[in-house]
Structure 1
Amino acid sequence: MNWQIVSHIHGGHQSSPATQEEYRAAATALDDAGAGLCAQASAWSQAALRLGSERVGAPLCPALASGSPAAAAQGHETLPYDRLIAACRSRAGELERTGNEMRGMADLLIRAHGLYSEAEAGVRRAVTELTQAGTQLLPGWATWIMGSAAVGGLAGSWLVEGRPNPAASSWVTSTFQEGYMSGVGALVAGIVPGKGVPHTDEVNKAAGKIANVTGPLKDIVQGDHLQVRQVTARTEVVRASASVEDSLENLRRLAEERLGRIDLDSGLGYATVAVQRYERADGTNAWLVTIPGTDGRGDSPFGWEQNVELMSDDPERRRRADSARMVVEAMERAGIGPDEPVAMVGHSQGGIVAAAIAADESERFDIRHIVTAGSPVANHPVPSKTWVTSIEIEDELVASLDGAENPATEQWMTVRGTVQPTPDRQGPTLNTDGSCSPGVASNVWGNSPYAGAPVADPSKTQELSHWLKYHQAAYRNASDLGGPAVTTHERHFAGIIEGELRQTLYYEGRMTNHTDQAPGEHAGFDRVGR
């Protein structure tokens, strides 16, 4: 089965209230007209059914029902039922297709301009608040319900697919993940029930407390000495970029190359980031930093342990996170000046690092725009000068770990994607009167190229949607819609790195115990790009 992502846009630049009202009126008119055409299609279908019933049910003239040549010889006349029924069905099909296309256009218009984003956010916030309150008041029951739902998803996938699929558990619990995480965070942080959840930092406060314990333990197990070293790629991995979509593709290439999911023969290993220098027309420099996510290696600064520190509400604790320290050191070694504009793009932990640096190192670097994919960054205090383009998938879990939805401002836009099966297409059909009906998609909006963006290299069954290819499809669908929020953010991002790529530098990090080896002698560097 193939999969597609249907995206909705929240936040970012919006049209004026008057313009939005005009778009809303246009969407309503399209939807009403489409519904009217679908109603007429139903009437034509009913007419076809009545004609068929009359043909076989003429009580006073059985010969008509048979349609035999003998009836015509006796002077009997009959209607051309076959042609009439076919014509009614053809007209019904045409009206239904046109009506569905008009309703689909209304849906696309609504999504492109985020016309219902406030209502969607309100419903989402209400569910999150109720789930948080329930988790705080009855944590045992809440955990039991979430666990049962997850197990039920696994069992259902086992019956359908023949094996347990973790993606099914994430999909079943997706509606309540933010609220549950916020509730658990509030319990750990000691926050009393009743506090509202929008843009609050229960999870981050809890992460700060947890990091006070796990941080020192991590230093003992993994080592507390960070070694950062420039490495050379044998092949081009991170290429020149002129857009968010280009940068996401470069991020995917670097992430999958270092994890071994693809083989570009670059020689790059895990815990590697890229820093690119673009020269503008006026001779000044701009920079793009590409940061993949967690790799989970034992001596990597991008291990699982560092996520807790990055999620802390304490800026000093975030600064001490090894992955943040590594990227900051790579940026300094590359020569990024305090007044040179910087854009950053990161996946998962890489996106959290970008948000943390934008929040905590604003005096050291001029971070103008960050792009995060699947990163829980709602509560990071990113300054208003930094634009944020966040991409999240509804059922991926990781993006919900912050327990809150992202701010919806001019500078902060969230593209929220939903995984759906790609609709099957019906081939062209030959009607009884010799006419041909074109093929159509099996759902209402599937015949629109903007309905959803296909996921690259799809699996036959649903998989965990935290892979970067799902975020790429979500952003592609949002770009195809062409709304003002996405267009404005894309223009801002492209304006920062506008120029000619002059240099791509790769930096690799390793954790070690500084008493074991002198800096630069770690064996892990000998095999990477050397």
Structure 2
Amino acid sequence: MKRTITAAPDANGYTRTELDHLTGMADRLNQAGGALATMQSQWVLTNQAICRTMPGLPALPCTQAAVPPPGHARLPMDRMVSFCSDQARACEDLRTRLQSVADRLTKAYGLYSQAESFMDRLMGSLTSKALTVFQPIAPFMLGSISLGLGMAKLTGHLDTSQFQEFMETTASIQQPLLTAVASGLSSDHHDPIGGLVTGPGLLMPLILAHFQGDRITMDPVQPQGKGLGEAHDIAGALHNLETLGSCRDGIPYATVAVQRYRKADGKDHWLVYIPGTSSHLDSPIGWAQNIQLMSDKASVRDRAASLRLVDRAMRDAGVRPDDPVSLVGHSQGGIVAATMASDLSDRYRFDHIVTVGSPIAHRKIQSDTWVTSVEMREELVSSLDGADNPSRPNRLTVRGRAGGPPPPGGDQTGRTVITVGPGKESTHGMAYQQAAWADARDQNSPAVRRQDDHFAHAIEGDLQETRYYRGRLRR
């Protein structure tokens, strides 16, 4: 099955006046397109009127005479019909071009995303207010839904495709529902999700010590294939991250990769790849670490084995406090990247982080660190923070949307992803996130281009080496 992925970057980096000016330009282009559509209709009607008149012309006396009477001439009716058709086509072509420019302008500067974000916040606010009435029983509502879905899955009445269909249908209410549930259980309304998981996060080291162990062993490994190549932009880094997370080329699960780039001036720049959650029992990037990382307490987050693994790998690779570091992470890997940029800014110099499908809205990242986030609207993970990402000039969120199959033939927008099976699959996977970023880059958005250029400059230079570190939990 093929699905078309389209993306909308947010409107970060533009003033209110600039956005209003750009919106006005797009509106005027669309209005001009509408006027051209009216002109096209008039030319078509004129053409039709001429065509209706032509059959009766031979019966007129003036057309039957060998020599036209004085004051009469034979009109080139065929040429008139052709002229009307040409003018109608010209109006249609110009209308299409103007509306295409308006659409590209709207996408490139995040105007559509801005309007949609406003509607999302409005609907989220209305949903949250409605859920306030049911807040005392909201956790039971969420629990009942989860239990029902789980039972349907176990009994075979709900397959993966149907579950994904349910997730996509309810995407607009997931974030406000989670916020309402968390607010009912936590007194901290600034980060209700973080407050909600802090209790379990405090117990997690004890649970891990009993079942998995909380001691990390880290060993250098080498891929059996060519491994990760040199990255020159965000797309290249995402490709490498997908290779790492999918364990291709014989790369083991729960492996962190550290690349060292050297500029012409001899200075080292680092790029660290952090994969998403793995379900293996001895993985330090497991499900339990998500709870710790989502906590609103830094002391709980710092105990997460995944964060400790990345920190240890960076130190072993030779990252110095003053060396510029960029982090790229998927899912839990993105949470690790954002948490390190917020909690370990006194230990490392974080230049740029890229998060993919990660709930990081509540991480207080230093203002001099650039942040690029890619999220898909149809998947739950990015909404687990219960809030939208903050807005600032050097922080950009690209939101992707998965549609149906691409239209047959003709021009199409967006990027195509081929699913594994015939039904829908989770859009949390790297293929969808990569397609969303690629579509945003295709739109030639200044904000997207600025992020990509900064990331490229951050890792500029020749790749010196790539080190791979496999982490395991031991008792």
Task: Tell me if TM exceeds 0.5.
Answer: yes
The 5-angstrom pairing of residues 396-415 of structure 1 reads 396-415=379-398
Structure 1 residue 455 and structure 2 residue 411: aligned?
Answer: no
**How many angstroms apart in 1 are the aligned matches of 2:217 and 2:276?**
18
Superposed CA offset, 1:134-161 (max 9, x none): 334314479379949x97xx99xx99x9
Query: Percent sequence identity over matched residues?
Result: 35
**Residues 481 and 146 from structure 1, CA distance in 2 versus in 1: closer, same or farther, beyond 3 angstroms?**
farther
In structure 2, what is the Cα distance between the partners aligned to 1:368 and 1:411?
11
The residue type paired with residue 182 of structure 2 is G
Equivalent residue letter for 2:25: A
1:180 to 2:177 alignment: yes
The 5-angstrom pairing of residues 260-275 of structure 1 reads 264=248, 266-275=249-258
What does residue 464 of structure 2 align with? Answer: 502
Amino acid at match of 2:173: F
2:199 pairs with 205, 209, 213, which one? 209
Q: Distance in 2 between matches of 1:453 and 1:381?
A: 33
What residue in structure 1 maps to residue 36 of structure 2? Answer: 37
- When residues 30 and 349 of structure 1 are mapped into structure 2, their CA distance, relative to the original with a 3 A threshold, is same
Q: 1:248 to 1:98 in 2, by over 3 A?
A: same
Quote how far apart the aligned CAs of 1:184 are: 1.4
Which deviations, in whole Å up to 9, do the C-alpha atoms of 1:374-398 show, x marking residues without a partner? 0000011111121110001111111
CA contact (8 A) 1:389 1:413 kept: yes
TM-fit CA distance, 1:279 = 0.9
The CA deviation at 1:474 is 1.1
Shift in Å at residue 95 of structure 1?
4.0
Query: Aligned in 2, Cα 1:104/1:324: closer, same or farther, shift over 3 Å?
Result: same
Question: 8 Å contact 2:224–2:250 — kept in the other structure?
Answer: yes
Equivalent pair of 2:396/2:447 in contact (CA under 8 Å): yes
For residue 286 of structure 1, report the CA deviation from its aligned partner.
Answer: 0.8
- Which residue of structure 2 aligns with residue 239 of structure 1? 229
Q: Does 1:367 align with 2:341?
A: no
Q: Which residues of structure 1 form unaligned runs of 5+?
A: 59-63, 66-74, 259-263, 427-439, 514-530
Is the 2:353–2:370 contact (alpha carbons within 8 Å) kept by the matching residues of 1? yes
User: What is the DSSP-based 3-state SS (H/G/I as helix, E as strand, rest coil) of the residue aligned with 2:403?
Assistant: strand
Aligned pairs, how many? Answer: 456
The 5-angstrom pairing of residues 4-403 of structure 1 reads: 4-14=4-14, 19-43=18-42, 95-96=91-92, 98-139=94-135, 140=137, 143=141, 147=145, 164-190=161-187, 200-256=190-246, 258=247, 264=248, 266-403=249-386
Output the aligned Cα RMSD.
Answer: 3.6
Is contact 2:375–2:399 with CA below 8 Å preserved after alignment?
yes
Distance between the aligned counterparts of 1:456 and 1:251, measured in 2?
A: 19
> What is the one-letter code of the residue matched to 1:10?
D
Structure 2 equivalent of residue 475 of structure 1: 437
Tell me how far apart the structure 2 counterparts of residues 420 and 81 of structure 1 sit (CA, whole Å).
Answer: 48
**Alpha-carbon contact 1:13-1:488 (below 8 Å) kept:** no
* 457-466 or 168-177, which deviates more: 457-466
Aligned partners of 1:318, 1:505: CA distance in 2, in Å?
A: 25
Change (3 A) 1:166 1:48: farther
The alignment partner of 2:266 has SS state of coil
TM-superposition CA deviations, 1:214-257 (whole Å, max 9, x none): 4422331111211111112222221111111110010011111x
Once the two structures are superposed, what CA deviation does each residue of 1:4-46 show, in whole Å capped at 9, x if it has no partner? 22221125433x5555454333322221111222333444566
Q: Residue 216 of structure 2: SS of its match in structure 1?
A: strand
> In the TM superposition, what is the alpha-carbon distance from 1:130 to its structure 2 partner?
2.6
Distance 1:35 1:147, change over 3 A: farther
Secondary structure in 1 matching 2:36:
helix
Give 2:434's aligned amino acid: Q
Query: Contact conserved, 2:419 with 2:425, CA < 8 A, in 1?
Result: no
Output the CA distance in 2 between the equivalents of 1:498 and 1:325: 27
TM-score with structure 1 length normalisation?
A: 0.77
Distance 2:453 2:45 in 1: 52
Q: Is the 8 A contact 1:7 1:416 kept in 2?
A: yes
Q: Counterparts of 1:132 and 1:423 in 2: how far apart (Å)?
A: 35
* Residue 437 of structure 1: aligned partner: none
Q: Is the 8 A contact 1:165 1:463 kept in 2?
A: no
Structure 2 residues without counterparts, runs of 5 or longer: 57-63, 65-74
Residues 8 and 111, structure 1, Cα contact 8 Å, conserved in 2:
yes
Note the 1:519-530 alignment, pairs <5 A: none
SS of structure 2 residue aligned to 1:403: coil
Residue 210 of structure 2 aligns to a residue whose secondary structure is helix
Give the equivalent residue in structure 1 for 2:427: 465
Q: 1:162 to 1:315 in 2, by over 3 A?
A: closer
Which stretch of structure 1 is more off in the superposition, 112-121 or 390-399? 112-121
What is the distance in 2 between the residues matched to 1:136 and 1:504?
Answer: 51
Which region of structure 1 is more displaced relative to structure 2, 487-496 or 130-139? 130-139
Separation of aligned partners in 2, 1:498 and 1:185: 43
**Residue in 1 aligned with 2:68?**
none
| Counterparts in 2 of 1:468 and 1:164: CA distance versus 1, 3 Å | closer
For the 8 Å contact 2:11–2:111, the answer to whether it is kept is: no
Amino acid at match of 1:278: Y
